[in-house]
Amino acid sequence: MTTTRNPVLQLQGVHKSYGNLVALSDAGLTVTAPGEVHALGGENGSGKSTLLGVLSGQTRPDKGEILLDGRRVSFRNPADAIAHGICMVSQETSIAPDLTAGENVLLGRLERRWWGVDRSSSVDTARGYLGRLGSRLDPRTPARELRADQLQIVEIARALSMNARILILDEPTSSLAADEADALLEAIDELRRDDVVVLFVSHRMPEVFAIADRITVLRDGSVAYTGPAETQSAETLVTAMLGEAKAAHDRELSDTRTTRLGDVALEVSDLTAPGAFEDIGLSVRHGEIVGLAGLEGAGRSELLESLFGVRPVTGGRISVDGRAFTPRNPRAAIDAGVAYLPPDRKERGLVLSMSTLGNAGMVGTLGRKRWRRPAVRHEQGLIGDLVRRTRLRVKAPHEPVGTLSGGNQQKVSLGKWLVAGQHILLLDEPTRGVDVGAKMEIHALLRAAADDGAAVLVSSSENEELLAVCDRILVMARRRVVAEVSAAGATLGEVTRLSREGVHEPVD
């Protein structure tokens, strides 16, 4: 007699509203078997976070049910979910920097004997949990010395130490370089072999197709697709996330590309900052988008910081529109028409407690004395310009910008420079942590800026992004520019290989 096995996990008919805002409407997902990696996709605001909050005990649904192995369960709080083997690891790591890696793995649960904490046994236990992820990290390593991917591994190992059988990973690779993300995906593969279910949220399509067995897509709080990953493509998933009309419109915007190049806007020669980069030479013309590729530590971010006056240089020359330029500080760079988008919008790109309007006007009003609040007409014009340029979705411009979705926050972080009229854009990871729809809109925004005559220098750990948006790509390795390729003629494999090997091969 054959026994039908219940799915490991089912969320069915989940509804959640916040006043008049419907976050989830008849939403759900099904994990069919142990060891399944199930990707959850959708635009920011589609309901992903709310659904994961329901599953992790952080959010009480208005209606719906959760079944584990066919048995209905309910969670009053995250502790209830953990007791049922469901743990969540967010993209914002919660590591205690003054403890060791092992102490963070066993946080509050170190091995004890009658005399007190057994340090040696605790180290061995933590090493065992790290080993389940294929990691050779020494548990005695201070947490403050760990790379971003190692911090994520420690967080996941902590979840395993709490007997997690269903692990929620919310954007675990959003702040990781390509090689670090690869290491984390290998760790997820180890979990699969250990029969741990992984619910995986990522805006990076290649990662989803590399690791996921099944995919569920939410749109406007409801399920737009659920099924095997192998039957889908990046294009069909984008359509499921955005809807046919919006996907077609965004593809049309994304395909727009300018070939009208003006004079050289930014030129750099022999630029050096010890320990960061050496003998950098490059140029960017008005109307051109130039990419910087390379692994973490290649010097991409440090170069942009120096061009904006954040990091000092010890040699070399910089010119803006043919005139010598010395970026002594960010104010000098701003006065010269240079803009800088940092990779961490929440830390350096925005003031989250300030209104959307206040952030939008931050650059344009930098040199003005403020005796009173700006005129209403000026404020309306400013927010109107921002919405027009960036397709920003904002209902209340005077509300804190921190209440916006990640994609809309990024639009404000970039848009404040555009409405101020800056014509040289230095962008570091411009689409980090945003959904696929916002990513396409930001790409179109960069091309529109170039069409308007801006010179754009963009650094990204996603080589696919550089190939999609740039005219030329400079590859950095060993803190130098080692190759230049035309984005139109290059392949992903070529850019990746040059980044890893640092070997210059001239392009025809």
Q: 132-175, pLDDT tens digit by residue?
A: 888 888 999 999 998 877 888 888 888 888 888 999 988 888 76
pLDDT tens readout for residues 306-339: 999 999 999 999 999 999 998 889 999 999 999 9
Burial 322-353, CB ≥16 within 10 A → b, else e: eeebebeeeeebbebbbbbbbbebbeebbeee
100: β partners: 142
Instruction: Give the pLDDT score at 162.
Output: 86
Give the distance between the most distant pair of CA atoms in the chain: 84
Amino acid at 312: P
Distance CA(341)–CA(377), nearest Å, equals 28
Sheet holding 21-31, edge to edge: 21-31, 9-18, 63-68, 71-73
Cβ–Cβ < 8 Å for 387, 396: no
Q: CA torsion sign, 231 to 235 to 241 to 245?
A: negative
Distance CA(10)–CA(31), nearest Å, equals 6
Provide the residue-wise pLDDT of the chain in tens; the chain has 508 residues: 455 678 999 999 999 998 888 899 999 999 999 999 999 988 777 888 899 999 999 999 999 999 999 999 999 999 999 999 999 887 666 888 899 999 998 887 777 787 777 888 889 999 988 888 888 889 999 999 988 778 888 888 888 888 889 999 888 887 676 677 788 888 888 889 889 999 998 878 888 899 999 999 998 899 999 999 999 888 888 888 877 766 665 555 555 554 568 899 999 999 999 889 999 999 999 999 999 998 877 889 999 999 999 999 999 999 999 999 988 899 999 999 999 999 888 888 888 888 888 888 877 665 555 545 554 455 566 677 777 777 787 777 778 888 887 888 888 888 888 888 889 999 999 988 787 778 888 898 899 899 989 999 999 988 888 988 999 999 998 889 999 998 888 888 888 888 876 544 443 3
Burial 214-246, CB ≥16 within 10 A → b, else e: bbbbbbebbbbbbeebeebeeeebbbbbbbeeb
Instruction: Give the pLDDT score at 159.
Output: 86
Q: Which domains does the chain have, with CATH numbers?
A: 9-242 (3.40.50.300), 264-337+423-501 (3.40.50.300), 350-409 (no CATH)
Distance CA(411)–CA(504), nearest Å, equals 35
Instruction: Give the pLDDT score at 502.
Output: 57
Mean pLDDT score of the chain: 85
